[in-house]
Structure 1
Amino acid sequence: MVTHRFVDVNGIRLHIAEQGVGPLVVLLHGFPESWHSWHRQIGALADAGFRVVAPDQRGYGTSDHPDDVDAYTIFHLVGDVVGLIRELGEEKAYVVGHDWGAPVAWHTALLRPDVVLGVAGLSVPPPFRGKRRPMETMQAIFGGRFYWNYFDQPGVADAEFARDTRTTLRKFLYSASAAASPSGEIMQPLVNPEKGWLAAMEDPEVLPEWLTEDDLDVLTESFAKGFTGALNWYRNLDRNWDLTAPWDKAVVTRPALYIFGDRDLVPAFPGSRDVIDRLPTIMPGLTRPPIELTDCGHWTQQERPAEVNAALIEFLTTCERAAGAGPGTGSDPS
């Protein structure tokens, strides 16, 4: 049974959902989501012998929403993960992330390999620092119409998304799912600056089978404080590029797994597919080639829970066996 509580980490309060006993697995959600995006994984991983914790990350849900944009850098986000692991009484953990949670997971393994037993990312591939700042790059390629650049404008997307939170989330979840692209064609997420982003998104009459009205209830409630905290993550993309300069060309060396959908818009971003195709040769910690799920959109673990659960359980148990231990011991697979 999933239980909920709050923990104090790095001067802020985080809400967490947890279940199970064994080696710690931290599940990190993306945008615009919450701990609930993992509700189909928590029980399965707990039943497989792991202690599973899914936080609402800073700026989300009932966790604290710092006011300063500067409080959402990758260092703050990784610091929250490291602090959470320690606050839970552990020295090391497996870290799994989807969407924005994936860069947090990857960077936790990159910056603090000493606290990561293994790392898995869904949708967003491992971080390979580009030659230019991300916002600058997308500004140059798409003339400022890429959604990152739209999100970067203080207060603009915040107001658009908050006008009707439930409709915003319903449109987001549907438009980035496989159901919205039956032909398999993937469009770049560009925004008409005069109309906003939601105007071009289809509002489905029938929800995809993986998304229920109850799911929308939970998610809508989690954005009762608005979208600004979540959007502040994007407003630090260029700052993160500057901050991570010391790790330029560094790679994740901890045991790693990457899963993505063939209809996910993120692997279709400029340069992403090339990185994915080269991962087996450029990422020493990868335990198997990237897993590409057919007919799967952006919401990987929600659209294809059975395949994701199976891959995660295999990865986690393999890491434990490699360390000469079984689930329940929390040994280091290095």
Structure 2
Amino acid sequence: MAEHRMIDVNGIRLHVVEEGEGPLVVLLHGFPESWHSWHRQIGPLAAAGYRVVAPDQRGYGSSDHPDDVDAYSIFHLVGDVVGLIGALGEQRAYVVGHDWGAPVAWHTALLRPDLVRGVAGLSVPPPFRPARPPLAAMEQRFGGRFYWSYFNRPGVADAEFARDTRTALRKMFYAISEEAARDGAVRELLVDDPEKGWLADMPDPEVLPEWFTEADLDALTESFSGGFTGALNWYRNLDRNWELTAPWQGATVTTPALYVYGDCDPVPAFPGTPELIARLPELMPSLRRPPLELAGCGHWTQQERPDEVNAALIEFLKEC
């Protein structure tokens, strides 16, 4: 049975959900999510012989939400994982991340390979530091209309999403799911009119996808009762993270690795990303197998396709 508790880590308190015994597996959620995005993985991984811990990452859910934007850099986020491993009394762990959790997982393996038995990323591929700051590059490419730019306007997306949290989350989850792709309703990750907001033209489904129930939406809505600012502050460190990681220019993840993504997910289709994914086996020899593409899967990988993700993760963990 999963246990909820608070743990002091890296100067803040993190809410974690824990189940099982054995080698530690840390599951890192993305945006706009919480530990709950892993609820279909925690039990199966624990049953397979692992100690599974899924935190609400800083700025999310019941964990602390530091006020300072600078408190959400990649160094802080990796520091939370490092601190969590130690606070749990462990010396090493497997680290798995989805969406924003994937860059945290990849960078934990990159910066602290001594602590990482193996690393898996869902949706977002391993980090290869670009030549230019990412926010500036996207602003130039899309004329300031890319959602990263919108999220970087202080207080704007925060207020839009908080006006009706449940509707905002329902729209966001549907808009980049396989169901939206099948319905021809996939929302571009562009903001047509920043004054209207990102959600204004986003489809609102009459019926939720089977994998995302009303109870799931209830749990997610409750986790954002404190607002979206902490979560959005991750995006407000994109260019700062690029500056901070300059010493690792050209470095690659050397720990055993797994990458999984859906063929209907818009994130792996970001400019330059398909070419990167195609070259990953060449660029990162630590991959245990070629990138695993899940047919008919949108952005919410482990929620949309839990059986395939669980099988891939368990097979990977047992190989490491």
1:220 equivalent in structure 2: 221
Q: Which amino acid aligns with 1:257?
A: L
Q: Which amino acid aligns with 1:174?
A: Y
Q: Which amino acid aligns with 2:181?
A: S
Contact 1:186 1:263 in 2 (8 A): no
Q: Which amino acid aligns with 2:67?
A: D
Structure 1 residue 187, shift from structure 2 partner: 5.8
Structure 1 residue 318, shift from structure 2 partner: 1.1
Structure 1 residue 167, shift from structure 2 partner: 0.4
Contact 2:175 2:186 in 1 (8 A): no
Map 1:40-189 → 2, pairs under 5 A: 40-182=40-182, 188-189=188-189
Do residues 229 (structure 1) and 230 (structure 2) align? yes
CA distance in structure 1 between the aligned counterparts of 2:124 and 2:282, rounded to whole angstroms: 18
Structure 1 residue 200, shift from structure 2 partner: 1.3
Output one character per residue of 1:5-30: Cα deviation in whole Å (capped at 9) or x when no partner.
00000110000001000000000000
CA distance in structure 2 between the aligned counterparts of 1:159 and 1:181, rounded to whole angstroms: 28
Contact 1:188 1:268 in 2 (8 A): no
Contact 2:158 2:229 in 1 (8 A): yes
Output one character per residue of 1:213-270: Cα deviation in whole Å (capped at 9) or x when no partner.
1001110000010000000000000000000000001000000000000000101111
Q: Which amino acid aligns with 2:175?
A: S
Structure 1 residue 186, shift from structure 2 partner: 6.1
Structure 1 residue 184, shift from structure 2 partner: 7.3
SS in 1 for 2:182: coil
Structure 1 residue 284, shift from structure 2 partner: 1.7
Distance change >3 Å, CA 211–CA 183, structure 1 → 2: closer
CA distance in structure 2 between the aligned counterparts of 1:113 and 1:200, rounded to whole angstroms: 43
2:246 equivalent in structure 1: 245
Q: Which amino acid aligns with 1:228?
A: T
Distance change >3 Å, CA 170–CA 186, structure 1 → 2: closer
Normalising by structure 2, we get a TM-score of 0.98
Distance change >3 Å, CA 161–CA 187, structure 1 → 2: closer
CA distance in structure 1 between the aligned counterparts of 2:233 and 2:45, rounded to whole angstroms: 31
CA distance in structure 2 between the aligned counterparts of 1:303 and 1:283, rounded to whole angstroms: 27
CA distance in structure 1 between the aligned counterparts of 2:277 and 2:185, rounded to whole angstroms: 19
Structure 1 residue 183, shift from structure 2 partner: 6.5
Unpaired runs of 5+ in structure 2? none
1:323 equivalent in structure 2: none
Contact 1:296 1:304 in 2 (8 A): yes
Q: Which amino acid aligns with 1:160?
A: E
CA distance in structure 2 between the aligned counterparts of 1:268 and 1:119, rounded to whole angstroms: 22
CA distance in structure 1 between the aligned counterparts of 2:201 and 2:119, rounded to whole angstroms: 35
Contact 1:74 1:240 in 2 (8 A): yes
SS in 2 for 1:288: coil
Structure 1 residue 188, shift from structure 2 partner: 3.8
Contact 1:187 1:265 in 2 (8 A): no
Over the aligned positions, Cα root-mean-square deviation in angstroms equals: 1.0
CA distance in structure 1 between the aligned counterparts of 2:165 and 2:79, rounded to whole angstroms: 29
Structure 1 residue 194, shift from structure 2 partner: 2.1
CA distance in structure 2 between the aligned counterparts of 1:117 and 1:253, rounded to whole angstroms: 10
Q: How many residue pairs end up in the alignment?
A: 319
Unpaired runs of 5+ in structure 1? 320-334
CA distance in structure 1 between the aligned counterparts of 2:2 and 2:167, rounded to whole angstroms: 28
